[in-house]
Amino acid sequence: MWDYTDKVKEHFINPRNVGEIEDADGVGEVGSIACGDALKLTIKVKDGRIVDARFKTFGCGSAIASASALTEMIKGMTIEEAKKITNRDIVDYLGGLPRQKMHCSVMGAEALQAAIADYLGEKAETASDEGEVVCVCFGVTDKEIEKVVRQNRLKEVEDVTNYTKAGGACGSCIPQIEAILNRIWSEETPPPSKPKRPRTFLEKVKLVERVLEEEIRPVLAGDGGDIELVDIEGDVVKVKLLRNCASCPVSTFTLNDFVGEKLREFVDENIRVVEVDS
């Protein structure tokens, strides 16, 4: 069963700003009922600042919570500030979303960008407007996949499905999704290679921090969790799990099979990760 944060539950049970602004300055519509999710966002702008925002959605509890959170976030923002909102900001505002529901936050961010583009009289630059359709079942383009992969540092096809739905039905697009992932990550600088001499303690600490920051925290944040490095003794890395991870019943799995594997891959194959209280 999926684990929802209290904030997600609260926004689902008591959604803010439901409805539609009749004389809206900007309208953003994304998704389609045929694909299972649709969102219409309307905004009112005064002196370059969003003074009202309302939404209507056809979707699950996470879609409702994401849209509700989005309206709360953007009210009072300037258009320039709102332009910078990404799906990651919506997820952070809600304290996390189940990985399988990340596409709801993506839909919110796309509706916002579409509403802003409409207000500015521009063509919406949503990724789905450009590129070639990769997933016919859900109408997802290569540009859309590339955008969420880069923004959220996704590495697996399953993650792409969670964020865009692509690949979640017939699966015939999976080879193309894999090709996009391979292309994007092969362009990146390779992970830090092992130096010929043994690392100093300080180098090891810095590298562990870097792997935590780049490879581990973004994934844990997706579930509303976090991790803190407490100490390193030899090959033993002591960490503290925070937020949702602290109370997660599968935290042992998270430590050994995810955190441990990443640190062994990028830092040292002998690393062992243990959880400590402080």
Site for ligand FES, rule CB under 6 A: 135-137, 166-173
Task: Give me 169's structure tokens.
Answer: 């039905």
**Minimum CB–partner distance for residue 119 and ligand FES (Å):** 33
DSSP string, 141-188: EHHHHHHHHHHHT--SHHHHHHHH-TTSSS-TTHHHHHHHHHHHHHHS
A 10 A CB-CB count for 182 gives: 10
Q: Please, which residues have CB within 8 angstroms of residue 258's CB and are 6 or more apart in sequence?
A: 216, 219
Q: Which is nearer to ligand FES, 172 or 182 (CB)?
A: 172
Three-state DSSP at 52 gives strand
Q: In the chain, count of helices (H) and strands (E)?
A: 12, 8
Determine whether 104 is an active site residue. yes
DSSP state of 32: E
**Minimum CB–partner distance for residue 36 and ligand FES (Å):** 13
The catalytic residue among 60, 104, 135, 137 is 104
Contact between 238 and 231 under an 8 Å Cβ cutoff? The reply is yes
How many Å separate Cα 119 from the centre of its chain?
26
Say how far apart CA 179 and CA 10 lie, in whole Å. 39
Q: Which is nearer to ligand FES, 62 or 176 (CB)?
A: 176
Q: Which is nearer to ligand FES, 120 or 137 (CB)?
A: 137
Q: Which is nearer to ligand FES, 95 or 167 (CB)?
A: 167
Contact between 260 and 246 under an 8 Å Cβ cutoff? The reply is no
Q: Which is nearer to ligand FES, 161 or 254 (CB)?
A: 161
Determine whether 35 is an active site residue. yes
Residues taking part in catalysis: 35, 104
